[in-house]
Structure 1
């Protein structure tokens, strides 16, 4: 696992995750880049040491009682075949439907509540409140898998979870499948236009630059991100003014505020100065699944398919 990225980005991602309006970066790297080095044998032999966000973590035996306090990790664990090993997930882990959802929180982890689940492995996005050390006192290994900065980070986390759970082969299969699909979608993207876009993270409105994981998904399709020119874009998640967006007049608007916040073309048209935006007049406002657009697991392919479809339609 690579080092944790900028604290500002991680903090904002946590806030947006709590709001359920989006979560989480240069042009996107080719998703077909070399796969991460294997951290365990294909046979899933234990003990195994995984290089996670909190350093080298040694897992003595195949875990059978995993607690996931990360919605992305939960999706990944089930995708790689570790679902039967998961005994509890946090309140934000709403996919897949069979995940054993509880009131546990990844943003405010409660050591006692976690220990009650008798875990032999805990997965979390950030070491909130020193949870790694607290669980270490009772000999529970913890993997910190932070918000991914790019595709390679996402693939690396899948490899981490595969190695840690004895599902290395399936993890490799999932990551390779993601790469192939992202390659295909990027190759099929129309190259005849340089379309601009605005991605709305919340109704404040915050957006994302091309340096973020979300921004890299759009980068696959050669889109021009209006947020890159924002005055405070250096943090990756600039707060844009309505005037800035109106002046940029993006060709496409993607809303990660559709499900959580009821935003759509009609609500945008009521915002001051927005009714004349090209994306609204041309019906190029695309509602996203807020959860898929805020996570960096296997369903990022679904996010990319939505973006690719919008680009093809707008380029036709």
Structure 2
């Protein structure tokens, strides 16, 4: 018999998680603050708990997927968590996960913070993965169970590391899409077809440029090898053209300005002969 699982929270993601557990044959208890949410789970075999006390008591593995971190503690407050593994997949910050982990451990639970790298439709499929951090004992015990939702990736015993990985990847995604949206706004300013511009030029260009990321990472870990292929002083000098063009075309340059400031800072502080990897320490120093 597979491990019984409880899922707290039946928004779009929580419903997808519960559905994946059911599909994999796990006895699944579900609870939602608003009763009756996601009625399709009933026909799939889910047990609907009337209270959080009933829901948590039903399973050794409790998966929490609520809207915001603030509701996690209030939902679990006062419950008997002794011997339970709490896998908190609610989006939050590293600091929030560390605080919740300390609280859960005091309440007798093993804690795993999580970061879901998928949209609901991807859950249970091969492309989805979920970061976990926290109790190594709990992860080893439940790794096979957690795999029903998505590929589990354990990133360390610090409970905040899963959230850090999650937020870092989302930051990269939003930065990439922000740049793409600015590019599309520029193209639209001259009534260039968005479809043709994207398919013929933007997507191939971004894909090619992403190929430089492993070299940047290697430079950060091991130090640069040889001279920069495109040094920061040159990039800083040319960057004004990006902002000026946006203004001329009636496009808000807000997404571009911070990068230009960072390039000029790099050049002004002696990094002009270096490559893009040199910007990462400047970001850390500026926190």
| TM-score of the pair, normalised by structure 2 | 0.29
Higher relative contact order (Cα pairs below 8 Å, separated by 6+ residues): 1
| TM-score of the pair, normalised by structure 1 | 0.27
